[in-house]
Copies of this chain bind each other. A is one copy, B any other.
């Protein structure tokens, strides 16, 4: 199977946060026009759209994009839980690699703050949803089990929030741009033991977009960022008695496949954006990505290894914990951050000399399966 390489030609995002006065059209305009401008493309040059949204009304994507002139083309709207945005990117990149299209918009949108009051819950037809669990409860259970197995400390978990909030000081589009201390994180309101408020991402309203095309095909090839690999998987069968906590295996399986497809090892990667919906999530994810041994993620978080200034910064954007988590937009905001990093355009939060970056998103509740969807993408400087 012969394949063309795909590159990201341009990216754009709205601000992230509680912005109820901006409807989906306004948010879509901000993200999409920025991405098209960045790619040097007119809307009429886009051949197809792959979009991600979870709670968006049916048709929200075509309605949001028609004002920009993105009409009469194929639009495929994807719901893949928290990985909806990166699933849209994954499909857009595949469409370019297989020569279906040459100029594809990957797009993600979610307007949540007018609809939800804080935490979202698994669906009522899931065992967890039927028992009244919200997402923080599921991560709280993960943290408790993980703590029992590996002894992660409250301070180690808090270290993730402290680091990501500090990173966000350099990100003008993040929802939370105030640094916090370990003491403040631990003293914040308990949400689902041992997870306190500052260890939870916020719901948000936002859109994000990326233009994908063949490598070297854009008007500014030196600004392109190459897609070295992208892998999408659903999880193994899983229940709460499993040896590893929920989400560990799906991330590990997906990452291993993505590294192999890219021909890289985890040690080659200079910068990561990962799914830190809750602090324990980043700890588990850094392990599953292979950055450290199983059980060592808490120590890794405290070590400075994953902080800006350390050898492998994780979530230089501030992550979901700071940026907020508008489900469909999240994955494309992660892609945008890594593109900016690999171009050396990330300003105050720039990782020096970043050449290889990885994005990881995982989503879905625990109803018998180790996650609905995980996407891991490896990106490289240059087209």
Question: Chain A residues in contact with chain B, CB under 8 A?
Answer: 1, 23-24, 53-55, 57-60, 62-63, 66, 71-81, 87, 91, 94-95, 98-100, 123-126, 232-237, 253, 364-365, 367-369, 372-373
Contact pick for A369, options B23, B62, B368, B369, CB 8 Å? B62
Residues of B close to A75: CB separation below 8 A? 80, 234, 372-373
A–B pairs, 18, beta carbons within 8 Å: A1-B100, A53-B79, A57-B125, A58-B79, A58-B372, A59-B123, A59-B126, A60-B123, A62-B235, A62-B364, A62-B369, A63-B125, A74-B232, A75-B372, A77-B80, A78-B79, A79-B79, A94-B95
> A261 to B281, alpha carbons, bound, how many Å?
47
Q: Is the CB of B63 within 8 A of A369?
A: yes
> A79 to B368, alpha carbons, bound, how many Å?
24
Most buried by B among A55, A71, A95, A100: A71
Q: Is the CB of B125 within 8 A of A62?
A: no
Q: A322: shortest Cβ distance to chain B, in Å?
A: 24
Q: A219: shortest Cβ distance to chain B, in Å?
A: 23
Q: Which residue of B lies closest to A237 (CB)?
A: B71
Known contacts A58-B54, A94-B100, A368-B66; is-contact A80 B71 (Cβ 8 Å)? no
Q: Is the CB of A71 within 8 A of B236?
A: yes
Q: Is the CB of A76 within 8 A of B74?
A: no
Q: Is the CB of A73 within 8 A of B369?
A: no
Residues of B close to A80: CB separation below 8 A? 75-77
Q: Which residue of B lies closest to A48 (CB)?
A: B232
> A367 to B58, alpha carbons, bound, how many Å?
12
> A373 to B71, alpha carbons, bound, how many Å?
10
Q: A12: shortest Cβ distance to chain B, in Å?
A: 21
Residues of B close to A63: CB separation below 8 A? 125-126, 367-369
Q: Is the CB of A233 within 8 A of B364?
A: no
Known contacts A58-B55, A364-B59; is-contact A72 B123 (Cβ 8 Å)? no
Q: Is the CB of B62 within 8 A of A99?
A: no
Most buried by B among A23, A58, A232: A58
Most buried by B among A55, A123, A236: A123
Residues of B close to A62: CB separation below 8 A? 234-235, 364, 369, 372-373
> A81 to B56, alpha carbons, bound, how many Å?
12
Most buried by B among A72, A75, A76, A98: A76
Q: Is the CB of A1 within 8 A of B78?
A: no
Q: Is the CB of A253 within 8 A of B364?
A: no
Residues of B close to A87: CB separation below 8 A? 76
Q: Which 6 A-B pairs have the closest CB atoms?
A: A98-B98, A57-B123, A74-B232, A1-B99, A62-B372, A75-B234
Q: Is the CB of A72 within 8 A of B364?
A: no
Residues of B close to A60: CB separation below 8 A? 123, 125
Q: Is the CB of B71 within 8 A of A58?
A: no
Residues of B close to A77: CB separation below 8 A? 78-80
